[in-house]
Structure 1
Amino acid sequence: AQADAVMLYYKLLTPGLVRFLQERGVPVYAYTVDDPRAIRRLRAMGVHVIASNRPELLLQG
């Protein structure tokens, strides 16, 4: 059996873990990310979904 998705606290996500999951077709979700630098880092890793208490940060480039 395979997971439909994995949701982890963002500080637990590493590039290697994200890559491992993506190679297996498992979307990666991160929560709760309220730091702009962390959002940029997660986007660069290819995280599919980022949950935040500050959605305006997600709209910034």
Structure 2
Amino acid sequence: MKILARMEGEPDNALVPYALSVEDKGQRRIIRYLPQGRERVTVQQVRITHAQSLECPRTLGGL
């Protein structure tokens, strides 16, 4: 199976559904899933609504 493209979803975000276009034995298909495990883990999310500079979101995002 070869991944051709990401159709939906965001890397490193298990809160939104994911869809991949793949080639499997010569046939193209789309695989959709919600990347969650059996256990739920609470995580903190930081949302920057009114940044004073463009560096603020980049710095907090680890870029």
Using the size of structure 1 for normalisation, the TM-score is 0.25
Larger Rg: 2
- Hey, which of these two has a bigger chunk of strand by percent? 2
Relative contact order: is structure 1 or structure 2 higher (C-alpha 8 Å, sep ≥ 6)?
A: 1
